[in-house]
Structure 1
Amino acid sequence: MQSNNHVLVIDFGAQYAQLIARRVRQAGVYSEIISHKSSLEEILTRNPRAIILSGGPSSVYVDDSPLIDRALFEQNIPIFGI
């Protein structure tokens, strides 16, 4: 298990995921970008201090819009959606 001194940026296809991660690093916090297809187990194994959900071009109202395991929101990890 990693130390939790980092932020995960979960990429849903946004064109700004790299920029978001860079800005977090410029603030002195390590950040890592992972795919929205990552499992809950993969996310929790990384033991992040916080998570940023980086939106994509798909509408949240479209039937096949990308999803994430809702159990993530029950893990007591701060989550910020952009």
Structure 2
Amino acid sequence: MKKQPEQLLATIEQAKQDLKNDGLFTAVIFEALSLGAVTSREFARKWGMSQSSVERWRTGLSVPHTALRPRVYRWLKEKFEAKSE
């Protein structure tokens, strides 16, 4: 069962409050990709990384430094809201 759009936005807001929580970061990336808010290709291009690195973020095998996370969350929220209009 797919997550609903409202759940993605709620997860982003929760993650913004707990930047050190790797599980929440992974959940945001997983949900954003699953809902089509962004593709792994778009994600990789935006952040200057390979699609395999995006996959590692999606699965929690690696995560970025906490300083980068607010920018990722903001970008994903903007992308998702733009696609929802």
TM normalised by structure 2 equals: 0.29
Larger helix share, 1 or 2: 2
Which protein is richer in strand relative to its size? 1
Which structure is richer in relative contact order (CA contacts within 8 A, separation 6 or more)?
1
Q: Which has the larger radius of gyration?
A: 1
